[in-house]
Amino acid sequence: MTTLDSGVDSLADVTSSEDRLRRFLLGLPGVDQVGAEARAATLSTRSIKTTAKQYALDLAIQMIDLTTLEGQDTPGKVRALCAKAKRPDPADPTAPQVAAVCVYPDLVATAKRELQGTGINVASVATAFPSGRSSLAIKIQDTKDAVASGADEVDMVIDRGAFLSGRYAMVFDEIAAIREAAGDAHLKVILETGELVTYDNVRRASWLAMLAGADFIKTSTGKVSPAATLPVTLVMLEAVRDYHEATGLHIGVKPAGGIRTAKDAIKYLVTVNETAGPDWLDPELFRFGASSLLNDLLMQRTKLATGHYPGPDYFTLD
Amino acid sequence: MRKTYKLYIGGAFPRSESGRSYVVNNAKGKFLANASQASRKDARDAVVAARKAFGGWHARTAYNRGQVLYRIAEVMEGRHQQFSAEVAAGEGLSISKARAVVDASIDRWVWYAGWADKLAQVVGSSNPVAGPYFDFSLPEATGVVAVLAPQDSSLLGLTSVIAPAIVSGNTVVAVSSYERPLPAVTLGEVMATSDVPGGVVNLLTGSASEIGPWLASHDDVNAIDLCGITSDDEARDLEIAAAGNLKRVRRPAEEDWSADQGLSRLTQYLELKTVWHPIGV
């Protein structure tokens, strides 16, 4: 099953003019809402136990972008978060490291210093996060600042206002411009699916972002409710699968916000495996934007290792 | 209409996560009901609910907690008949003796309710110290208390182990008598309708031997009452498991539930906080 019909000759063509882009995006087949939700619900009933659970928990930890995006963030808080990223469970050295630490641009340098030589990336939000309501020049400068301070990954937000009013080319050009400004940094494009309202829009925005050069498509900023949901992630995973079929390129997916329990994380991993395929069970191609999730994963890990239930008092607050 | 006897966790009445149930017979061995058989995961969920409820319950004023306990007694009064029938069937008592047991249980709630705002005066102290300080010791709740309720006394015993824990601000996960779980289920229904916040009291029906070890070794449980354990070996093992996070443990002992209770259960689940306060000029 693929969302691309045979009428599209080449993906390079569809971005050649605004008209073609619009025709392509609006021509994407609609998402069967009931079907997508039912599929996500079915996938979340899988029972993952013992060694498979152990594998899933460790993989989920390695996929975490440990995130703090609050107005009250301080360099001290970021340093503490970095310490946790390096050694999530001080009582158990076998606990793997997380994939990245995600902060606001002004704290990138602090995080970079703490994480030097660890292999953990520093991700920075940019482009007037979380609303994206700013001029393109400022967004580009925001991105350049983040990269200059050492960000390995840039999480940008799309202009939802432009997208919802049908100005797809404007969104496309903006992503492309940020892509260029980000240089070698990995570009994650936040669709903010909570504001896109329909699954059809999520599918269109996913394709738009991938065509414009995203390395990752990310569900949400975490500032809007609903944030990541399983059906939305399913639709995005279908999009990256179909894009891979059409172009051979692997694009990553990052659900962010609202994933708090190990149980939820495992549901997402099952969905990844069953939708995009086992290639995506890799921190290079799938990430969780989360903070409190990590503690629950560590508690589940401890339960498997010790055979008794652990308590939150024995794990750091972040 | 036949009734489904369920668990009481976090203010809701779920079936056991495991889907299991077991047959409950009356004292003469005749079928009485099918009760949910709680699993370790139900216990885990109950501990999460109890921990979540702890902050709010503990922060209430002692006076307010006392009022809520009085309310439990009032609502139990309204279910007097149901409790009497269940106690009579389960414990093999005549209906008039069962009524007396229910009366005693209601009295017990009232007795403990009265302690809510008197505890600090009796257990706390103002300590003489050699320095310009006021020095106070104040009793505070321990946290989440796991209770393996008595096997024989299914209502009075259960009341006598839950009330002293919650009156001081603890939250409770209780495993009922295995063979006589029905009064515990009904007590859950009383809790749900008497201003007790969800999660403050969680009632599991099932085997204390099966669930006990998980509660005893749980790092997020602060104290455990082993009075429902009848074997010495089992009690010893649970005590060892409880040492992992230095839980307060109450060992099983011969108890006369109809007698005056004294303060030992009440003070078992308290932590004394001592404050040094400089004396101003």
Return the percentage of chain B with pLDDT > 70, whole number: 100
Indicate whether A10 pLDDT > 80: no
Show the DSSP H helices in chain A as ranges.
11-14, 18-27, 33-43, 50-62, 75-86, 108-115, 136-148, 160-164, 168-182, 193-196, 199-211, 230-247, 262-275, 292-306
Determine the residue among B42, B218, B219 to mutate to test chain A binding: the one whose Cβ has the most chain A Cβ atoms within 10 Å: B219
Question: pLDDT per residue over B81-139, tens digit each?
Answer: 999 999 999 999 999 999 999 999 999 999 999 999 999 999 999 999 999 999 999 99
A152 is known as an active-site residue: no
Question: Comparing C-alpha atoms, which of B115, B114, B147, B160 is closest to residue B255?
Answer: B160
* CATH number of B56's domain: 3.40.605.10
For the domain made up of A11-305, give the CATH fold. Answer: TIM Barrel (3.20.20)
Question: What confidence category does residue A8 fall into, taking pLDDT thresholds of 50, 70 and 90?
Answer: low
Indicate whether A9 pLDDT > 60: no
Determine the residue among A47, A308, A314 to mutate to test chain B binding: the one whose Cβ has the most chain B Cβ atoms within 10 Å: A308
A263 is known as an active-site residue: no
Question: What confidence category does residue A4 fall into, taking pLDDT thresholds of 50, 70 and 90?
Answer: low
Question: What confidence category does residue A97 fall into, taking pLDDT thresholds of 50, 70 and 90?
Answer: very high
pLDDT of residue B281: 66
Cross-chain Cβ contact A309/B245 below 8 Å: no
pLDDT of residue A5: 57
DSSP strand pairing (B133-141 vs B125-126): antiparallel
Q: What's the CA gap between A270 and A281, in Å, rounded?
A: 9
pLDDT of residue A1: 45
Return the percentage of chain A with pLDDT > 70, whole number: 97
A165-194: average pLDDT: 96
Length of chain A: 318
Q: Quote the mean pLDDT of chain A.
A: 94
Packing angle, helices B156-166 and B182-192, rounded to 10: 40
Question: pLDDT per residue over B2-21, tens digit each?
Answer: 899 999 999 999 999 999 99
Q: Return the SS3 of B53.
A: helix
Question: What confidence category does residue A13 fall into, taking pLDDT thresholds of 50, 70 and 90?
Answer: confident
Return the percentage of chain A with pLDDT > 90, whole number: 94
DSSP strand pairing (B223-225 vs A153-157): unpaired
Q: Does any domain span residue B2?
A: no
Buried b (16+ CB within 10 A) or exposed e, A198-235: ebbbbbbbbbbbbbbbbbbbbbbbbeeeebbbbbbbbb
Indicate whether B221 pLDDT > 60: yes
How close is the nearest chain A Cα to the Cα of B220, in Å? 4
pLDDT of residue A2: 56
Number of structural domains in chain B:
1
pLDDT of residue B223: 98
Could you state, in order of their start, the residue ranges of all structural domains in chain A? 11-305
Type of residue found at B152 = D
Q: Quote the mean pLDDT of chain B.
A: 97
Boundaries of domain holding B108: 33-278
Q: Does any domain span residue B7?
A: no
Cross-chain Cβ contact B44/A309 below 8 Å: yes
Q: What's the CA gap between B46 and B52, in Å, rounded?
A: 10
Q: What's the CA gap between A149 and A102, in Å, rounded?
A: 13
A254 is known as an active-site residue: yes
State the complex-level ipTM.
0.89
| Dihedral pair phi/psi, residue A15, rounded to 5° | -95, 5
Q: Considering only alpha carbons, which residue of chain B is nearest residue A306?
A: B217
Q: Does any domain span residue B17?
A: no
Question: Comparing C-alpha atoms, which of B144, B19, B212 is closest to residue A308?
Answer: B212
CB pairs under 8 A between A and B: 27
Indicate whether A7 pLDDT > 60: no
A90-113: average pLDDT: 96
Q: Work out whether the CA dihedral A83, A84, A88, A91 comes out positive or negative.
A: positive
Question: pLDDT per residue over A248-300, tens digit each?
Answer: 999 999 999 999 999 999 999 999 999 999 999 999 999 999 999 999 999 99
How close is the nearest chain A Cα to the Cα of B231, in Å? 22
Question: pLDDT per residue over A20-79, tens digit each?
Answer: 999 999 999 999 999 999 999 999 999 999 999 999 999 999 999 999 999 999 999 999
pLDDT of residue A3: 57
Q: What residues of chain A, 250 to 309, have a C-beta less than 8 Å from chain B?
A: 307-309
Q: Does any domain span residue B12?
A: no
Among residues A112, A139, A218, A267, the one annotated as catalytic is A218
Indicate whether A86 pLDDT > 50: yes
pLDDT of residue A61: 98
Spell out which residues of chain B touch residue A312, defining contact as CB-CB under 8 Å.
51, 220
Question: pLDDT per residue over B230-249, tens digit each?
Answer: 999 999 999 999 999 999 99
